[in-house]
């Protein structure tokens, strides 16, 4: 069988992901695995029509297509995203229709599920026959159980093609019917403030709703926020995945374009607003470039304690996966999500008031220094980073290690002697049936809140928190 592998790594053949594919090819010599380096060659593919057509021809003649990519910042690499955009922009979706497909990724399992959900949606939008997905840990090739699993996945995929397995779609096509946003009467710029507010966008002239949202939001402030349009920033390419930044956050692009200076400027703002339009099931590939290129900061948060807000034009209500990415991104930056406003509101004036409220809230939260506690996204994700940077990724991510040491990210081993003594003592007592009955009886709930009750009743920790504003 001919299986086309669409390689999403900017490192081309020298990619970890492709070593897994090379293993599959070696173990299945009777099949032809044709690898196309999509992310690495995107400029060529985009600018040379013949090259693009060649890729399409390969897909057309394939029995199956594997989307094989490394995780890049909650999703696929910006160049891979661009390729997906080109398929739609050049009306080539028919090439993919009814093709059997599977998704394969390598990562450290940090939001691999959002990248997979995105790709699942894309495969459904392309009317492909989606068989299966496999998210490998980047070192899993060295584990015999995982290698076997990988082979089973691949052979299962081939078998599904052979038996012409029926494949149900998982997500509905997007309904793209957002109303035109027509702002109401001009507002007076009432919010006097001393905050630094920066709006980052990739808005184009034709994106009327997005431009109007930005304008309406900005118009609320006595001092207009600064607007940075990514289209006017010199960005000479996507993240290379070279990890040169690992040692001291020195990016391979240093001095070669304006991205790093622009990004470092954002770190000085109190309130950041990211404004973009949905393209397929994410924002644009330019926005993806922004997120990827920010990786020169490696696994450290960039916007600690800042207010972050999003203005999104497009069907975000139909894309909970994208919403999750925006929320999780904010948590990982240790910023506070002031809000997300879209142009989906159906009543006249709703978007106006949502934008006004967002402006007010951003200032209010900034003044209070409010930061919502992290959810599973932030808490769980940081534990993945902690373990990776402590262990296998300490080299090359030397700068992360220093930062994690200094900022208490390494919260292990958990000495916590008080808990250990209590656990040992109660663990022993619980072995006695009569005591166990007592311990696990109605007293348990009482016991669980005992310390909390004492804490609240004592009241000595409430000083300064009883303001009534």
Could you tell me the two tokens for 61?
């003649």
In SS3 terms, 411-437 reads as: CCCCCCHHHHHHHHHHHHHCCCHHHHH
Half-sphere exposure of 247 (CA within 13 A, CB side): 5
In sequence order, the 6+-apart residues with CB closer than 8 A to the CB of 130 are: 101, 102, 103, 120, 123, 124, 167, 169, 170
Q: Does 336 bind ligand FMN (CB under 6 A)?
A: no
Q: How many CB atoms lie within 10 A of CB 292?
A: 23
Could you tell me the two tokens for 177?
């019917």
Q: Does 228 bind ligand FMN (CB under 6 A)?
A: no
Given 51, 90, 109, 371, the residue binding ligand FMN (CB under 6 A): 109
Q: How far is the CB of 134 from ligand FMN (least distance, A)?
A: 13
Q: How far is the CB of 77 from ligand FMN (least distance, A)?
A: 8
Given 73, 150, 262, 366, the residue binding ligand FMN (CB under 6 A): 73
Q: β-strand 226-229 against 197-201: which pairing, if any?
A: parallel
Half-sphere exposure of 302 (CA within 13 A, CB side): 22
Q: Does 111 bind ligand FMN (CB under 6 A)?
A: yes
Q: How far is the CB of 381 from ligand FMN (least distance, A)?
A: 9
Pick from 220, 213, 227: nearest CA to 345: 213
**Cβ proximity of 278 and 319 under 8 Å:** yes
Q: Does 11 bind ligand FMN (CB under 6 A)?
A: yes
d(C-alpha 440, C-alpha 449), whole Å: 14
Q: Does 108 bind ligand FMN (CB under 6 A)?
A: yes
What mask of x and - would describe binding to ligand FMN in positions 239 to 258, judged by CB under 6 A? x-x-----------------
Q: How far is the CB of 16 from ligand FMN (least distance, A)?
A: 3
What mask of x and - would describe binding to ligand FMN in positions 257 to 296, judged by CB under 6 A? -----------------------------------x--x-
d(C-alpha 347, C-alpha 395), whole Å: 54
Q: Does 17 bind ligand FMN (CB under 6 A)?
A: yes
Segment near ligand FMN (CB under 6 A); pick from 40-48, 109-117, 175-183, 431-439: 109-117
Segment near ligand FMN (CB under 6 A); pick from 10-18, 28-36, 151-159, 207-215: 10-18
Nearer to ligand FMN, 86 or 141 (CB): 141
Q: Does 72 bind ligand FMN (CB under 6 A)?
A: yes
Pick from 406, 298, 20: nearest CA to 5: 20
- Burial class of residue 463 in the structure, from the number of CB atoms within 10 Å of its CB (0-12 exposed, 13-18 middle, 19+ buried): exposed
Segment near ligand FMN (CB under 6 A); pick from 92-100, 103-111, 152-160, 461-469: 103-111
Q: Does 71 bind ligand FMN (CB under 6 A)?
A: yes
Size of interface with ligand FMN, in residues (CB under 6 A): 22
Please count the residues of the chain: 469
What spatial distance separates the first Cα and last Cα of the chain, rounded to whole Å?
70
Q: Does 16 bind ligand FMN (CB under 6 A)?
A: yes
**Cβ proximity of 10 and 39 under 8 Å:** yes
Q: Does 110 bind ligand FMN (CB under 6 A)?
A: yes
Pick from 358, 297, 302, 353: nearest CA to 332: 302
Q: Does 41 bind ligand FMN (CB under 6 A)?
A: no
Given 101, 107, 117, 209, the residue binding ligand FMN (CB under 6 A): 107
Q: Does 112 bind ligand FMN (CB under 6 A)?
A: yes
Could you tell me the two tokens for 330?
């904010």
Q: Given the rule CB under 6 A, which residues bind ligand FMN?
A: 9, 11, 15-17, 70-74, 106-112, 138, 239, 241, 292, 295
């Amino acid at each position: 069988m001919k299986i086309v592998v669409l390689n999403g790594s900017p490192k081309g053949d020298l990619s970890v992901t492709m070593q897994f594919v090379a293993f599959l090819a070696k173990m299945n010599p009777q099949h032809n695995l044709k690898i196309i380096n999509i992310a690495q060659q995107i400029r060529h593919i985009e600018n040379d029509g013949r090259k693009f057509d060649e890729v399409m021809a390969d897909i057309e003649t394939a029995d199956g297509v594997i989307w094989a990519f490394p995780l890049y910042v909650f999703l696929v690499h910006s160049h891979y995203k661009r390729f997906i955009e080109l398929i739609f922009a050049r009306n080539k979706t028919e090439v993919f229709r009814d093709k059997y497909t599977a998704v394969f990724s390598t990562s450290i399992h940090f939001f691999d599920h959002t990248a997979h959900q995105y790709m699942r949606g894309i495969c459904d939008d392309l009317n492909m026959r989606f068989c299966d997905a496999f998210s490998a840990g980047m070192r899993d090739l060295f584990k015999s159980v995982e290698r076997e699993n990988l082979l089973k996945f691949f052979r299962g995929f081939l078998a599904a093609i052979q038996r012409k397995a029926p494949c149900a779609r998982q997500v509905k096509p997007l309904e793209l019917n957002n109303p035109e946003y027509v702002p109401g009467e001009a507002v007076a710029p009432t919010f006097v403030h001393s905050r630094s507010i920066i709006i980052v966008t990739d808005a184009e002239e034709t994106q009327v709703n997005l431009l109007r949202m930005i304008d309406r939001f900005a118009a609320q402030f006595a001092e207009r926020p600064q607007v940075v349009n990514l289209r006017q920033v010199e960005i000479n390419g996507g993240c290379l995945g070279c990890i040169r930044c690992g040692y001291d956050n020195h990016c391979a692009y240093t001095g070669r374009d304006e991205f790093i200076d622009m990004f470092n400027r954002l770190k000085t703002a109190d309130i950041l607003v990211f404004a973009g339009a949905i393209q397929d099931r994410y924002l644009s590939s330019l926005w993806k470039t922004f997120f990827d290129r920010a990786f020169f900061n490696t696994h450290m948060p960039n916007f600690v304690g800042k207010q972050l807000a999003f203005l999104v034009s497009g069907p975000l209500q139909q894309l909970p996966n994208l919403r999750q990415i925006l929320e999780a991104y904010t948590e990982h930056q240790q910023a506070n999500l002031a809000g997300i406003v879209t142009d989906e509101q159906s009543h006249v004036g709703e978007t106006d008031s949502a934008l006004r409220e967002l402006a007010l809230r951003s200032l209010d939260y900034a003044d209070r220094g409010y930061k919502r506690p992290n959810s599973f996204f932030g808490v769980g994700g940081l534990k993945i980073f902690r373990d990776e940077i402590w262990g296998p990724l300490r080299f090359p991510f030397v700068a992360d290690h220093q930062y994690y040491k200094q900022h208490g990210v390494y919260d292990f081993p958990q000495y916590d002697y008080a808990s250990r003594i209590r656990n040992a003592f109660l663990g022993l007592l619980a072995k006695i049936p009569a005591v166990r009955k007592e311990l696990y009886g109605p007293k348990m709930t009482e016991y669980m809140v005992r310390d909390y009750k004492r804490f609240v009743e004592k009241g000595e920790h409430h000083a300064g928190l009883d303001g009534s504003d």
